[in-house]
């Protein structure tokens, strides 16, 4: 069943239903599918960026997911990595939030998003260099020197970075879209009309 869940993308809910049926004849089966899958539940987080941070890394995903299809990739193949960064509130009653760094390869058959790193705190990360540091160091290594998978070497290029407006301002270290000079595409100051507006359409980029 373990192989079935990982290879055939069977959901945890369906695995749980199957376990309930099989437990009549096999009472030793665990009730929680995460026990069956040996899902890791404890992580050694770091105190950084004003909260807790854990870095999963890119290579873990590449080695786990692409090792089975490496034969279809040529030696020296360049993986196109799409990045997403956003803040996720966890509870309405607290300010606790997650800021994950998500990745997805857009030019392979494995297009499922994966977690590269995740920050947890009561506000967004207070140090962008610390938040992105491990990811950028690993990316530069694989972009220049590649990653060995079996007898082949694959390289990684950043394809795009996808963020909503607040996260984009955070990642680019620019003013928020709601402030004066908040447009990151042109030089206009903006006009306050109950909210920040940028009415000009013919201004320098």
pLDDT digits (tens, 9 = 90+) for 14-26: 666 665 666 666 6
- Where exactly are the structural domains of the chain? 1-42, 45-163, 174-205
pLDDT at 10: 59
- The band of 5, judged by pLDDT with boundaries at 50, 70 and 90, is very low
**Across the chain, what does the average pLDDT equal?**
82
Q: Which helix (H) or strand (E) holds 10?
A: none
Of 128, 99, 105, 103, the residue nearest 116 (C-alpha): 103
pLDDT digits (tens, 9 = 90+) for 69-94: 777 788 889 999 999 999 888 888 88
Which residue bears the tokens 């997805």? 104
In DSSP notation, 119-146 reads EEESSS-S-HHHHHHHHHHHHHHHHHT-
pLDDT digits (tens, 9 = 90+) for 103-122: 999 988 878 899 999 999 88
pLDDT at 159: 95
SS3 helix, strand, coil % of the chain, rounded to 5?
Answer: 30, 25, 45
pLDDT at 31: 63
Q: Is residue 40 predicted with pLDDT exceeding 90?
A: no
Q: Cα–Cα distance between 155 and 175 in angstroms, integer?
A: 34
Cα atoms found within 13 Å of the Cα of residue 22, Cβ hemisphere only: 13
């Amino acid at each position: 069943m373990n192989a079935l869940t990982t290879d055939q993308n069977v959901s945890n809910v369906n695995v749980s239903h199957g376990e309930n049926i099989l437990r009549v004849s096999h009472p030793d089966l665990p009730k929680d599918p995460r026990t069956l899958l040996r899902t890791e539940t404890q992580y050694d987080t770091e105190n950084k960026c004003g909260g807790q941070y854990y870095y999963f890394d890119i290579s873990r995903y590449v080695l786990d997911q692409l090792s089975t299809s490496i034969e279809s990739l040529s030696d020296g193949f360049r993986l196109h990595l799409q990045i997403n960064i956003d803040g996720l509130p966890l509870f309405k009653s607290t300010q606790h939030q997650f800021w994950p760094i998500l990745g997805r390869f857009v030019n392979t058959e494995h297009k499922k998003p994966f977690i590269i790193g995740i920050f947890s705190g009561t506000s967004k990360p207070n140090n962008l260099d610390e938040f992105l540091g491990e990811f950028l160091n690993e990316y530069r290594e694989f972009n220049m020197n590649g990653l060995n998978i079996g007898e082949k070497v694959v390289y990684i290029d950043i394809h795009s970075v996808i963020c909503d407006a607040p996260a984009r301002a955070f990642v680019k270290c620019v003013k928020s879209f709601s402030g004066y000079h908040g447009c990151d595409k042109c030089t206009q100051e903006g006009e306050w009309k109950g909210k920040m507006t940028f009415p000009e359409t013919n201004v320098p980029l």
